[in-house]
Amino acid sequence: MHFVLINFLVAFGFIFFTSFLSAIINYDIYTALENNKTTLERLKMWGLMMTLVPFVEELAFRLLLQKSKLNYIVSISLILLFIFTILSDPSDYLPFINELPFKFIGYIPILLLLLLLSYLSYTYLFKDIYISVSVKKLLYATSILFAILHFSNYKNIELIHIILFPLLIAHHFIFGVFAGYLRLKLGFKWAVYFHALTNVIAVFFMAIKHFSELYISN
């Protein structure tokens, strides 16, 4: 347990430093999340970031590290859903989504379809590959994918962001590796706790930025 604590502090320190550096390079990193939102809408979003988001993202990227058919299906379907929502806004062709209290509720029909596709992919295509691949390779692969998908947080991409791409996603990769380590060594819930803690810190800085701007404008 002492070894886990030391690794936790080292990983968390690195994640905090690289996150701060990313914010300096691109001050508006979370502009896409916060643009045109009222304070109430931001509070709702921040609440999700500290509760539901860590749980769902850990289901997607860390659940399948403990190999089973069910874990594969759940993780792959959620990863596909993340990719789908990054590439396309479902509300463009499912307008009722915007009327829901929480937009993600409208994604349930899409998720059910992706669950079916993931089941078929496991049964007929990737079962043997998934079973035979080492957990270490799977951990690194999911951590890389986790980091790359989070690059979508950046908007107004310029040349400097392309050049510094490895640095800008480094903290997400290190985060993914350590969250996977916690998932394997201590259990799934500890990865969720770690994820929630890092998001609490992110929300803290986002809240400071928002309320300081409100104070200055008033």
Backbone angles phi, psi at 155, to 5 degrees: -125, 165
Contact 107, 81 (CB under 8 A): yes
* Spatial separation of the C-alpha atoms in residues 47 and 60, rounded to whole Å: 20
The overall average pLDDT reported for the chain is 79
Contact 72, 64 (CB under 8 A): yes
Number of alpha carbons in the 13 Å side-chain half-sphere of residue 146: 28
* Spatial separation of the C-alpha atoms in residues 138 and 147, rounded to whole Å: 14
Structure tokens at 66: 């403990």
pLDDT digits (tens, 9 = 90+) for 175-212: 899 899 989 988 999 999 988 988 888 788 777 877 77
pLDDT at 208: 80
Rounded to two decimals, the pTM is 0.79
pLDDT digits (tens, 9 = 90+) for 23-73: 555 444 444 455 556 777 778 888 888 899 999 999 999 999 999 999 999
Structure tokens at 209: 């930025």
